[in-house]
């Protein structure tokens, strides 16, 4: 499957599996008009070059502003090709009000933002809806559903994998969720964070890009109180990968098990509190726990607001990416964008924020002074998030790109 990118894809269906299938695909790389070194580009960037003498085998770390803790988990990277890979992330996507467009021409739905998404080597978003057909809305205040063609729309725009580990993935009950499970590995793009049992739900999608093995997890920390037990995947029950209560340990164990097998490890979490622009203590603690277990990048959503992005030690956290394909009820809820992260093995080199604004339910990139203003807003959110613009313990290359410190 070609999403406008050049890559070899490897889907791993078990934590310890190293090679299941490899497919060589070649696509045209869309040129993004928001280069790190261009003026008026709409990209906030943090750029750092690490010590070249870094040991091949190193420990993954979790660092706050005053202390450093090292886990016993051995990081693999960078043992792959040593090439730099760009991974893009975007937030909550429910496709509200877009059924007509999805039925007519899924490939056109996200055409405005497609050049941004497809320009990355690998792109992941949060699909916040019950995907499939049929089913019955559950006893909730808000329920979101979308047809399988939403996956086609995302694939056409350059998205490579989605997480459905969120508080809307099972909104239409077990019948529709059965369809979602069938699409997990057979749909237009892979789905993580759900499964017919806990083993499947906590499995990462592993993809080979430029010779680098990259693992992508999805997990949810937000459930309606009456649905926690019904929606959580267990050994005998289909559902969602959860980090509630004792289930947090299942995710941490999965990360530790996968760490030695890959060069780069990403966890996409659904967590935090709605309408908040600063992360709460739970978000911070869970991100640090995942870093200690071996994650290199932790990305979040759920607040329906943008939250700070930056480094904790040498690891990158994006606490909240806001809405993306959504119909928010406020102007601030329409502030959105795409996070682009450059990695080399387990080393996070830099990140960029490409701002956009939601118009009629879909994101449209910003340019000029509008982009500049949104860049400044995102940069300022790092303060209450307690994150840094540059990784610690690295040789920093001064960058003229907007947003670099």
In a domain, 358, yes or no: yes
**CB neighbours (10 Å) of residue 284?**
17
Q: How far is CA 280 from CA 276, 291, 362, in A?
A: 9, 17, 28
CATH number of the domain where residue 280 is located:
3.60.21.10
pLDDT at 43: 52
Whether residue 64 has pLDDT greater than 80? no
Question: Where is average pLDDT lowest: 50-54, 113-117, 200-204, 314-318?
Answer: 50-54
Whether residue 255 has pLDDT greater than 70? yes
Pairwise CA distance, residues 248 & 243, whole Å: 4
Beta-carbon contacts of residue 350 (< 8 Å; ≥ 6 apart): 36, 45, 46, 47, 48, 341, 342
**CB neighbours (10 Å) of residue 225?**
6
pLDDT at 152: 98
In a domain, 33, yes or no: no
In a domain, 340, yes or no: yes
First-residue to last-residue Cα distance in the chain: 39
Most trustworthy range by pLDDT among 50-54, 155-159, 275-279, 395-399:
155-159
pLDDT at 221: 97
- Cβ atoms of residues 212 and 264 within 8 Å: yes
Pairwise CA distance, residues 257 & 18, whole Å: 12
Whether residue 183 has pLDDT greater than 60? yes
Burial letters for 251-273: b for 16+ Cβ neighbours within 10 Å, e otherwise?
bbebbbbbbebbbbbbbbbbbbe
Higher pLDDT, 120 or 82: 120
User: Quick one: pLDDT band at residue 138, thresholds 50, 70, 90?
Assistant: very high
Question: Where is average pLDDT lowest: 74-88, 273-287, 359-373?
Answer: 74-88
pLDDT at 82: 87
**What is the span of the domain harbouring residue 155?**
43-48+59-385
Higher pLDDT, 60 or 311: 311
Quick: pLDDT tens for 330-369.
Answer: 999 999 999 999 999 999 999 999 999 999 999 999 999 9
In a domain, 165, yes or no: yes
In a domain, 92, yes or no: yes
In a domain, 90, yes or no: yes
Main-chain dihedrals φ then ψ at residue 276, nearest 5 degrees: -95, 140
Share the mean pLDDT of the chain. 83
Average pLDDT, integer, range 283-291: 98
Domain count, the chain: 1
pLDDT at 392: 86
Beta-carbon contacts of residue 294 (< 8 Å; ≥ 6 apart): 60, 71, 73, 75, 255, 256, 258, 259, 265
The answer to whether the Cα torsion of 141, 101, 108, 191 is positive or negative is positive
Average pLDDT, integer, range 206-211: 97
- Cβ atoms of residues 182 and 174 within 8 Å: no
Q: Which of 165, 172, 184 is nearest to 301 (CA)?
A: 165
In a domain, 197, yes or no: yes
User: Quick one: pLDDT band at residue 308, thresholds 50, 70, 90?
Assistant: very high
Beta-carbon contacts of residue 171 (< 8 Å; ≥ 6 apart): 129, 130, 137, 138, 140, 143, 144, 145
**CB neighbours (10 Å) of residue 186?**
10
In a domain, 19, yes or no: no
Pairwise CA distance, residues 279 & 272, whole Å: 7
User: Quick one: pLDDT band at residue 79, thresholds 50, 70, 90?
Assistant: low
């Amino acid at each position: 499957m070609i999403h406008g990118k050049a890559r070899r894809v490897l889907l791993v269906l078990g934590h310890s599996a190293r090679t299941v299938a490899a497919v060589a695909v070649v696509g045209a790389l869309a040129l993004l008009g928001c280069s790190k070194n261009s003026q008026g580009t709409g990209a906030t960037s943090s750029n750092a070059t690490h010590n070249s003498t870094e040991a091949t085998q190193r420990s993954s770390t979790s660092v706050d502003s005053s202390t450093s803790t090292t886990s016993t988990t051995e990081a693999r990277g960078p043992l792959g090709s040593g090439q730099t890979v760009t991974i893009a992330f975007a937030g909550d996507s429910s496709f509200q009000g877009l059924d007509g467009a999805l039925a007519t021409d899924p490939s056109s739905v996200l055409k405005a933002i497609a050049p941004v998404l497809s320009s990355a080597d690998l792109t992941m978003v949060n699909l916040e809806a019950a995907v499939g057909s049929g089913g019955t809305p559950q006893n909730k205040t808000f329920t979101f559903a979308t047809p399988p063609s939403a996956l086609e729309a995302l694939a056409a725009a350059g998205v490579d994998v989605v997480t459905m580990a969120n508080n809307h993935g099972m909104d239409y009950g077990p019948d529709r969720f059965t369809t979602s499970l069938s699409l997990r590995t057979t749909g237009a793009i892979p789905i993580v964070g759900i499964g017919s049992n806990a083993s499947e739900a906590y499995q990462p999608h592993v993809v080979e890009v430029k010779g680098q093995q990259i693992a992508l997890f999805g997990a949810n920390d937000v459930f309606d109180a009456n649905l926690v037990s019904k929606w959580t995947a267990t050994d005998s029950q289909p559902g969602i990968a959860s980090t509630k209560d004792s289930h947090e340990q299942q995710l941490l164990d999965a990360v530790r098990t996968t760490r030695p097998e890959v060069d780069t490890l990403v966890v996409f979490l659904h967590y935090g509190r709605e309408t908040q622009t600063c992360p709460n203590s739970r978000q911070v603690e869970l991100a640090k726990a995942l870093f200690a277990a071996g994650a290199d990048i932790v990305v979040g959503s759920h607040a329906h607001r943008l939250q700070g992005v930056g480094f904790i030690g040498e690891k990158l956290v994006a606490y909240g990416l806001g809405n993306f394909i959504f119909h928010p009820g406020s102007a601030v809820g329409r502030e959105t964008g795409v996070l682009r992260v450059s990695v080399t093995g387990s080393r996070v080199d830099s990140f960029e924020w490409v701002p956009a604004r939601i118009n009629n339910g879909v994101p449209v990139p910003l340019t000029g002074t509008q982009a500049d203003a949104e860049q400044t807003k995102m940069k300022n959110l790092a303060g209450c998030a307690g994150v840094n613009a540059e990784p610690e313990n690295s040789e920093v290359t001064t960058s003229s790109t907007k947003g670099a410190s």
